[in-house]
Structures are given as structure tokens and as C-alpha cells.
Amino acid sequence: MEPIQQTYQMPTADQQLLDNGQGVIDPDVFFELNTPPSNLADFESKLTAFVDYHQEKNTRLVFITSGGTTVPLENQTVRFIDNFSNGHRGACSAEYFLDAGYAVVFMHRQFSLQPFHRHYTHNASMGFLDYLVQKDDDTIAVDSQYGNKMKDVLSKYRAATESNRLLFLDFVALSDYLFKLKSGTRILARLQERVMYYLAAAVSDFFIPSQKMHEHKIQSAGGALTLTLDQVPKFLTPLVSVWASKGLIVSFKLETDDNLLVPKARQALTRYGHQVVVANMLHTRKQTVTVITQTSQQVISLSQEDLANHVEIEDRIIPQLVRIHDGWISSDATKACQQ
């Protein structure tokens, strides 16, 4: 059976814009050729209000991206390619940043793990109703074996939301994520060095530009399907040099081949010139990470005892990043004094 071929013919002008000789789209061109998400204005107004509030309070703020992006195969999307990540890293980190006094913008893949809620969702053996009991007087209550922990989680969650220190924003598709990343970093830029960008989302390296995508559901009548994916432009370049140039930027590097992990993380630091890469391996990401800066490299690992005590590695990563952020802020203050 003949594979189905992509039938779309791109207009010559668009093709020229895309073809920079290496088949990689320029980040600016990406935003010209793709349609912004329909809820971008709502995203921007929520974030602006949050930033206004915290600008006055002088709080430190972390912009966390969390979960995986989808890559649609059709403009009217029935099928899509997904990226690995259930959002544990981001959701868990948000709680430790709140503990450290930060306000948190939690930009996550819709329906992935969320801070605080994560303790009671996405559990293969326990559903929401399994935490509840029906009492003799016909009311319902939390089962006493879960009550104490839930009280702690609930009071931290309420403290964060009632003090307006936790903002939930979401994305689904890669282009949705990229539009919001650009717009979000620009809105946050006015808090300058007080912002940390913690880019834990698993972002696809490949995608189909909307001009090349099938409009309707791809039909199966023709047999096998052949797809060609373009390379996603390198968004860290404008993010580091323009959108968020004053903030502390922490990106994550995920690999499955141990030999590639540190060299690829170092390569990212050299290529983009930002401050920190947290390097992790797919299968050991909850036990060990390497925090790499331009001048240092530190392995953070949990011991067997830590694991037995349910210590989460974010409990060690976040204080380390907060120290780096302290240094970033004071070096900026020193620079300002010397001017």
C-alpha cells in the first residue's frame, strides 16, 4: 500500500521565510506564521494583574513551565504527538518555591500535575472518592487515615492562594506554549532580576507548521501515513538575550544516554549564555540531577535513607537555585552601584 503523502503546497513566500538554508525556522518567523492561542488575551491579563500585585510587594517570583507540549497533526486536531512529562517536577518544585517565599506562576500543560492537588490526583490506585467516607449521619468526611496530611496540604494551599502567591495558567500545544512563553516572559521582564525562569516543561523539538498541516482529520483509507516534522526554532536564544534578559534563567536538559547528559547541558549553556541548566536522566530524574552553571557543576542525589523517608529531590534542588538567585540579585545590585 502506498503511504499517504502530505498534500499541502506552501506558498513560495512562506517557503522562503521558512527555508533559512538549514530547514530551521527563525523564532520571529514562527510567530508570524502561526496563529496565537484564542485565550492569549486572558492569559496576559491574569499575568499582568499578578505581576502588578507583586511589583508593589517587592516579592521574588518564579515562572515555572511544567508538563509536555503536544504537536498536532491536523489543524482541526484529532491526533497529536505528545511529549513525555506528567508535570511532577514542576508541580513539586512550585511547593518548595512557595516555602522559600517566592510567588509562583505555574504555567502547566492542562490536566497535568498541579502543586498541592498532586498529592491526591494521577494516582493509579486511589481516586478522589477513595479519600472520603460516608458517616452515620449521612454527611461525608475525609477518611481519618488521610486527614492529618490533607490538613497540612490544604492549609499550605490556602495560604498560597489567599495571599495571591500562586497563579495557575495552562497550555496544550507547542505553539500555544511558545506564544505564552514569549508573552509571559515579556510581561514578567519588568520585575527584572527578581524573576527566576524555571523551564521544566518538556518541549517538543519537532513540529508541523500550521501551513503544512492537514486541515481535517487525516483519513486512513490510503494506508500508512508518512509525516515530516520541521525542527522547532531555538527559543532560548531570544528568551535569554531579549525577552527575559535580566532574570535568572534555569533550563532543564533531559537525556536517556548518560554519556550525552553533561556535554549536552554544557553545550546549551554555551550556546544560549544563560545561568543554569539542571541536567536529568529519564529514569533517575527523581533521585539525581546535576546543577550546572557557567563556573560550577554539582550533583544532587538522594540517599537510600532519603528515599525511605520520602524526601523529594526538589527539596534539595530549590534551595540551591535560591542561593544562585541570591547571588544573581546581589551581583546586579553591585553592578547598579558601580554605574
Contact residues toward ligand 9Z3 (CB under 6 A) are: 85-89, 199-200, 202-203, 251-254, 280, 285
Nearer to ligand 9Z3 by Cβ, of 86 and 211: the residue is: 86
Give the list of residues 6+ apart from residue 14 with CB closer than 8 angstroms, or none.
Answer: 33, 211
CB of 5 to ligand 9Z3, least distance (A): 30
Give the list of residues 6+ apart from residue 168 with CB closer than 8 angstroms, or none.
Answer: 106, 108, 114
Nearer to ligand 9Z3 by Cβ, of 62 and 202: the residue is: 202
Nearer to ligand 9Z3 by Cβ, of 87 and 238: the residue is: 87
Give the list of residues 6+ apart from residue 241 with CB closer than 8 angstroms, or none.
Answer: 273
CB of 291 to ligand 9Z3, least distance (A): 12
Give the 3-state secondary structure of the chain. CCCECCCCCCCHHHHHHHCCCCCECCHHHHHHHCCCCCCHHHHHHHHHHHHHHHHHHCCCEEEEEECECEEECECCCCCEEECCCCCHHHHHHHHHHHHCCCEEEEEEECCCCCCCHHHHCCCCCCCHHHHEEECCCCCEEECHHHHHHHHHHHHHHHHHHHCCCEEEEEECEHHHHHHHHHHHHHHHHHHHHHEEEEECCECCCEECCHHHCECCCCCCCCCCECCCCEECCCCHHHHHHHHCCCCEEEEEEEECCHHHHHHHHHHHHHHHCCCEEEEEEHHHCCCEEEEEECCCEEEEECCHHHHHCCCCCHHHHHHHHHHHHHHHHHHHHHHHHHC
Nearer to ligand 9Z3 by Cβ, of 51 and 276: the residue is: 276
Q: What grid cell was written down for 128?
A: 478522589
CB of 198 to ligand 9Z3, least distance (A): 10
Nearer to ligand 9Z3 by Cβ, of 92 and 324: the residue is: 92
Q: Are 32 and 210 in contact (CB under 8 A)?
A: no
CB of 113 to ligand 9Z3, least distance (A): 7
Spatial separation of the C-alpha atoms in residues 94 and 54, rounded to whole Å: 17
CB of 200 to ligand 9Z3, least distance (A): 5
CB of 34 to ligand 9Z3, least distance (A): 19
Nearer to ligand 9Z3 by Cβ, of 112 and 183: the residue is: 112
Nearer to ligand 9Z3 by Cβ, of 51 and 200: the residue is: 200
CB of 191 to ligand 9Z3, least distance (A): 22
Nearer to ligand 9Z3 by Cβ, of 67 and 72: the residue is: 67
CB of 265 to ligand 9Z3, least distance (A): 8
Nearer to ligand 9Z3 by Cβ, of 42 and 205: the residue is: 205
CB of 83 to ligand 9Z3, least distance (A): 7
